[in-house]
Structure 1
Amino acid sequence: MPENEDIARRIELEIDRALKRNIRGLDFLIADREPVGTMPKSAIYRSGTAVLYRYEPVLDEVYRKPLLIVSPPSNRGYIFDLAPGQSFVEYMLRRGYDIYNLDWNPPRRDEAELGLSDYVNRFLPESLAAIAGITGEKGISLAGYCMGGTLAVMHAALHPKAIRNLIAFATPLDFNFMKLFQSWADKRYFDVELLVSKLGIIPADVMLGAFDLSRPANRTAGRMTLWNNMWNDDFVKSYRMFDRWAAETLPLPGAYFRELITQLMWENALANGTMEIAGRRVDLSRITCPILNIVAQHDHIVSHEATRPLMEMTGSKQRHEIVSKGGHVSLVAGPAAVKRLWPLIDEWLGEKST
């Protein structure tokens, strides 16, 4: 009977998958790391923890306005270039953009005093100057992911004439809506001064702990999902790359970490309009360039509400928002973004890059 044949095929399929899980489970444990960040690039600027890369163009003709992508200081920038076919950098290079990435190295012991002013008023302007020296263009497209986006927004507010277009991926600005992180850094119990004074450099484990607390069962659920899909080579390869990126969280300078906690988490100074960097108020209404705000529908780290000041408090008359399916990382890496999100970014930015 057809029903019996169907049941037999399903049993055969499950047996085959079970065998592959056991065989490939051992391979997973002993295999070398998956290669990441494979698009050719060269470092054109270094200072402190900052390193600016330029990716080699793949087309003879490129858009006039370069695109600078700012990584979050706690994470490696290769998330934008995870693997061929899952690389935002590769996708945009093939559409004619001249792409740069402001990435970060772990801070040395003598760099514990690096603060927000160094990131916003030193590393970013010096990176823009390096790009201008190569391209001759002063007005660029500036993009940032998570806290890299927060830094980019702050810089755009302080130096609005330097930015032609602004793209924010899952960028927190109203930290009252970072609920789980608010609980983690509760002022009544979180002694940030003691932590910074004792450690100087904040270890990566502190940040990893915060992310784990935001979704306690996530690591266990991820391992279970991996086991269920161990027979699937593509899934395993993707899992290994994402897992490597998450595990390579970077330590942070103590001064920078203190300012994140006291000014952003505790005072919500950016959304309240009281944020100051090097004596200058960070006024979001000074941002008048076109803005693209990209949020993930199921982001457990940066909620939609946390990003809203970009759409409600800036002075731009061209503000566009994309709410994409998926989670926090799916905006900047993964095959789903290639099909749905990245073409929309290209469509929005292309006409503004000439």
Structure 2
Amino acid sequence: MKNIILSGSAEEIGKQLQESYDRMCSSTQKWMEMLQYDPYPQTGLSPKEVVWRKNKARLYRYVSPSGHQHKVPILIIYALINKPYILDLTPGMSLIEHLLECGFDIFLLDWGDFDWEDRELSYGNLVNDYIARAVQKTLLTSGSDELTMLGYCMGGTMTSMYAGLYPQERIKNIVLLSAPIDFSDAGTSSLWLNSPDYDADRIVDTFQLVPKDFIDIGVKMLRPVNNYIGTYTRLWRSIDEDNPVIAWKALNKWVNDNINFPGEAYRQWIKDLYQENKLVKKQFSLQGQTVDLARITSNLLVMAGENDHLVMTAQAQAALDYMSSSDKSYYEFPVGHGGLVFGNYAKKNVYPVMSEWLKQRSN
């Protein structure tokens, strides 16, 4: 609650205290009702159509409200452990909506929900059989000779894997948002995952398909107070101060809407990247092909959050050191991991920087 300044006679002070107490009770009641009964809002509402599919994955092309003003389409590659609608959360708070309004032709690869039959998928499968084909379909559907690849979080790492294998594919621009490239120091994640007792082989051999709850709890325990308590105190404060809560509801829906992690890909993610840092050492191979980041010459935009506890700024900034692009740009913003793609700050500060950079390199 806001600070209460008491003044006046004893009777007036008593009245002020009673009003404050009544307000607190009212806010708490609304808070409890919302947590128990209030439905999740609709998300991912920007119109789109499926232009290609493989198993559970879907390649979407978004419907542009004002036509395509820029020649080079954008293919968005998302991570494996959450749903991609964080990029199109709600109308008025959507990176995809912003890029569409700027006249870009937007495609997005949605991995779908991994299930038991997907447990043996590796990054070799995901890059060669899914991303490579999505790139081809994007070029064919858009009628363009070149494209921009935009990767968020692990999606950015996978974009870099693809570009390091297929530099001849006409990737004009690469945009990496909070994408870990150098895993030598991943903050709290390194302390946990590099422990001698953290055995990725044993985890994968036990689960085969790593459960979404296992991943979700692991991520949230990196900041347990903020994730388990702070989330709900922020909602209570919004209610008490009579601020809109639709954004909180939409974000909370996304945070808890996780997917299972294919076991073989998880094994590579932990062992080859977090524990052995093979990507920047030119030791990371996909189906017998070595990923060489130095082969990447596309125009490069890297964006990171100063307060990101999942991907350290140095992990993201390393892309500029290991990729051979002559046109390189790097921006840091005073936000956390999600703050680059969601929230008022992102809308006012991050989105315009990204779209302006792309406009200058998409015709």
Q: TM-score, normalised by structure 2?
A: 0.91
Moved over 6 A (4+): 7-13
Amino acid in the other structure paired with 1:24:
K
Q: Does 1:106 align with 2:113?
A: yes
Q: Deviations over 1:73-93 (max 9, x none)?
A: 111010000011110011110
Query: In structure 1, which of residues 43, 54, 69 is the aligned counterpart of residue 50 of structure 2?
Result: 43
SS in 2 for 1:119: helix
Q: Report the equivalent of 2:204.
A: 196
Query: In structure 2, which of residues 170, 180, 183 is the aligned counterpart of residue 175 of structure 1?
Result: 183
- Cα deviation for residue 274 of structure 1 reads 1.3
Classify 1:13/1:100 alpha carbon distance in 2 versus 1 (closer, same or farther; 3 Å): farther
- Cα deviation for residue 107 of structure 1 reads 1.6
Amino acid in the other structure paired with 2:30:
R
What runs of 5+ residues in structure 2 fail to find an aligned partner?
A: 1-5
- Cα deviation for residue 131 of structure 1 reads 1.3
- Cα deviation for residue 20 of structure 1 reads 4.3
Distance between the aligned counterparts of 2:247 and 2:63, measured in 1? 25
Q: Does 1:212 align with 2:216?
A: no
Q: Deviations over 1:223-258 (max 9, x none)?
A: 222222223554522111111111111111111111
Classify 1:269/1:10 alpha carbon distance in 2 versus 1 (closer, same or farther; 3 Å): farther
Q: Report the equivalent of 2:193.
A: 185
RMSD (CA atoms)? 2.2
Matches within 5 A, 1:93-172: 93-162=100-169, 163-172=171-180
Q: Report the equivalent of 1:349.
A: 358
Q: Report the equivalent of 2:3.
A: none
Distance between the aligned counterparts of 2:136 and 2:22, measured in 1? 57
Distance between the aligned counterparts of 1:111 and 1:84, measured in 2? 33
Q: TM-score, normalised by structure 1?
A: 0.93
Q: Once the two structures are aligned, what percentage of the paired residues are identical?
A: 27
Amino acid in the other structure paired with 2:159:
A
Q: Does 1:24 align with 2:33?
A: no
Amino acid in the other structure paired with 2:95:
F
Deviation larger for 218-227 or 161-170: 218-227
Q: Deviations over 1:158-206 (max 9, x none)?
A: 1123211000000001112213222322351122222212211100112
Distance between the aligned counterparts of 2:242 and 2:261, measured in 1? 35
Query: In structure 2, which of residues 61, 67, 87 is the aligned counterpart of residue 60 of structure 1?
Result: 67
- Cα deviation for residue 14 of structure 1 reads 4.8
SS in 2 for 1:175: coil
Deviation larger for 245-254 or 227-236: 227-236
Distance between the aligned counterparts of 1:350 and 1:335, measured in 2? 22
SS in 2 for 1:308: helix
- Cα deviation for residue 10 of structure 1 reads 8.6
How many residue pairs are counted as aligned between the two chains?
352
SS in 2 for 1:160: coil
- Cα deviation for residue 19 of structure 1 reads 5.0
Whether the aligned pair in 2 keeps the contact of 1:73 and 1:250 (CA below 8 Å) is: yes
Distance between the aligned counterparts of 2:165 and 2:19, measured in 1? 59
Distance between the aligned counterparts of 1:61 and 1:265, measured in 2? 40
Classify 1:105/1:10 alpha carbon distance in 2 versus 1 (closer, same or farther; 3 Å): farther
Matches within 5 A, 1:76-91: 76-91=83-98
Distance between the aligned counterparts of 1:293 and 1:314, measured in 2? 11
Distance between the aligned counterparts of 1:13 and 1:296, measured in 2? 41
Matches within 5 A, 1:250-269: 250-269=259-278
Distance between the aligned counterparts of 1:182 and 1:296, measured in 2? 18
Q: Does 1:238 align with 2:244?
A: no
Whether the aligned pair in 2 keeps the contact of 1:73 and 1:103 (CA below 8 Å) is: no
Q: Deviations over 1:83-119 (max 9, x none)?
A: 1111001111001001111112122212111000111
